[in-house]
Amino acid sequence: MIQKDILENLRVSYQASSLDIDDCDQIPEKQFNKWFAEALSSQCDEPNAFVLSTVLEGQPRGRVVLLKGVEKDCLIFYTNYQSAKGQEIQENDKVSATFLWLPLQRQIRIEGTIVKITSDLSDDYFQKRPRGSQIGAIASPQSEVVSSRTELEKLFQETENKFEHDLILPRPAHWGGYAIKPTYFEFWQGRRNRLHDRIIYIKQASTWARHRLAP
């Protein structure tokens, strides 16, 4: 067990930057694009990683996925539709996405609804993936219980053998993309003394309302 005093004394003084409401774009998607570009420039590990949170029978569930596109102001990621998160999304289309960029002492929290993207978009991205990733997507029964690592590697090898003469692999019907349509944004900038800057955007019909929250 981690010692209590170690955890209690883990602290960072946030003073990398500040965020004023007047400096934020009136359109949250543009503010997101600005911060994402700065995260890319910071060379932090996988700046497109975010925690996707879903709900199953009242129980929140989260996991890290990767942002792979932005289409019509929607955030796009890809997964197995039959996975746990796929089943949770089918039951409840309300989700949240949380980005954390520690080098910049920034976080973005997004809430919204989610839908599957078109087959054409999923087909296009699938063909851009490394061949090994394509085979893994076809072979893996994601979120199902398996007996061992050996079983997974056997499934992968069997799939690789099946398509060894195929230059183009077919995208499996159970794999594809989702689009998150935001209805809420929160931009968080760490500040000294825990007086963090928090600027939120709330969707109101076709416009966005901006507010500052207390930390």
Query: What positions carry a catalytic annotation?
Result: 194
Residue 149: its H or E element? helix 149-162
Across the chain, how many H-helices and E-strands are there? Answer: 6, 9
Largest alpha-carbon pair distance within the chain? 61
Q: How far apart are CA 30 and CA 199, in angstroms?
A: 14
Of the candidates 62, 42, 61, which has an alpha carbon nearest to the alpha carbon of residue 50? 62
Q: How far apart are CA 50 and CA 105, in angstroms?
A: 15
The tokens for 193 are 């003394």
In contact, 47 and 36? CB cutoff 8 Å: yes
Residue 119 one-letter amino acid = S
Of the candidates 92, 71, 85, 66, which has an alpha carbon nearest to the alpha carbon of residue 179? 71
DSSP conformational letter for 117: -
- Coil, helix or strand at residue 6: helix
The tokens for 108 are 């973005």
